Amino acid sequence: MDALDLLVNRRSASRLAAPAPSGKVLQNIINAGMRAPDHGALQPWRFVIAENDGLVRFSELLRAAAINDGADEKAIEKATQAPLRAPQIITVIAAYKESPKVPQWEQMLSAGCAVQAMQMAALAQGFNGIWRTGAWTEHADVRQAFKCGPNDRIVGFLYLGTPQLKSSTQIIPADSSSFVSYF
Ligand SMILES: Cc1cc2nc3c(=O)[nH]c(=O)nc-3n(C[C@H](O)[C@H](O)[C@H](O)COP(=O)(O)O)c2cc1C
C-alpha cells in the first residue's frame, strides 16, 4: 500500500481474527515502533506481545481484577472477553527514563507515536487493528502484571489481526479546514 494512501485513508479495525502478524511481519511492526520520534534517543517504551496462551493469561488477569474490584457478573464477563477480541495484543508501555531535558509528557508522546507506527506497519503488510486503552491501563493489578514502575504508563493495548470487515464505503479524508490555520 502506498504510504500516503495509508496515512490519509487508514481506518482502524475492531473485528479481528487469526492469523496475527508473525515472523518478519511482526518484526517489521516492532521495528516501526522502535523508529518512533524519540527526543534524546531514550527509547522510552516497552512492547509486550500477547498471543495464544498469553491472551488467556491476560483474560484471567482482567477477570481476577474485576472480581477483586467487586464487579457484577456482566462486568466480569466483559473483562474476561476483552483480551480475546483479537489474536494478538501488543501492550505499549511508556517506560519513563529520568532526563534533565526530556520531560515525561514528551516520552509518553514518543510511546504513543510508537503505537501509531506499529498500527500503520501492520496495515502496510495486510493486517490491521485498533488502539485501545480504558480503565485497565491504570489498574494496579494490570500495571503490576506488566511490570510498570511508578512513572511508567500503559499508553495502549494495540489489538492486531486480520480484519474481518472490509471498509464498505469510499473513504474520504476528514475535512481539515476548521483544524488548520496559518500563524
Ligand atoms: C490513546 C487512544 C486510546 C483509545 N482507546 C480506545 C478504546 O479504549 N476503545 C475504543 O474502542 N477505541 C479507542 N480508541 C480509538 C480507536 O483506536 C480508533 O481510533 C477509533 O475507533 C476510530 O477509528 P478510526 O481509527 O478508524 O478513525 C483510542 C484511541 C487513542 C488514540
Model confidence pLDDT, tens digit, residues 101-116: 999 999 999 999 999 9
Q: How far is CA 183 from the centre of its chain?
A: 33
In this structure, which residue's CA is closest to atom 22 in ligand 1?
12
Q: At what angle do helices 53-68 and 73-81 cross, to 10 degrees?
A: 160
CA–CA distance, 91 with 155 (Å, rounded to integer)? 8
* Ligand 1 lined by 151 (C-beta under 6 Å): no
CA 131 – ligand 1 centroid, Å: 5
Distance 183 CA to ligand 1 centre (A): 30
**DSSP symbol at 174:** P
pLDDT value, residue 167: 60
Quote the pLDDT of residue 77.
98
Residue 127 has pLDDT above 90, yes or no: yes
- Please give the distance, rounded to the nearest whole angstrom, from the Cα atom of residue 133 to the centre of ligand 1: 8
pLDDT value of position 6: 93
Please say if the pLDDT value at position 118 is more than 90: yes
Is the per-residue pLDDT at 39 higher than 90?
Answer: yes
CA 135/CA 65 separation, integer angstroms: 12
| Helix, strand, or coil (residue 18) | coil
Ligand 1 and 164: CB distance under 6 A: no
Cα 104 to Cα 32, 76, 99, 119, 155: the distances in Å are: 22, 33, 9, 23, 13
Average pLDDT over residues 138-163: 98
Q: Which of 8, 93, 118, 132 has most ligand 1 atoms within 8 Å of CB, for mutation?
A: 132
The three three-digit cell numbers of residue 94, written as one number: 511508556
Supply the pTM of this predicted model: 0.96
Q: What is the position in ligand 1's atom list of the atom closest to the CA of 10?
A: 26
Between 129 and 171, residue with greater pLDDT: 129
Q: Predicted confidence band at 166 (pLDDT cuts at 50, 70, 90)?
A: confident
Q: In sequence order, which ranges of 10-163 are alpha helices (DSSP H)?
A: 23-34, 53-68, 73-81, 104-124, 140-145
113 lines ligand 1 (CB under 6 A): no
CA pair distance 99, 132, nearest whole angstrom: 28
Cβ of 13 below 6 Å from ligand 1: no
The ligand 1 atom at the shortest distance from the C-alpha of residue 130 is 17
> Rounded to the nearest whole angstrom, what is the distance from the C-alpha of residue 132 to the centroid of ligand 1?
6
Contact indicator for 80, 57 with CB cutoff of 8 Å? no
pLDDT tens profile 52-97: 999 999 999 999 999 999 999 999 999 999 999 999 999 999 999 9
Q: Is the pLDDT of residue 173 over 80?
A: no
State the alpha helices, DSSP H only, in 69-103: 73-81
- Confidence check: pLDDT of 169 > 70: no
CB 21 within 8 Å of CB 125:
yes
* Residue 132 near ligand 1, beta carbon < 6 Å: yes
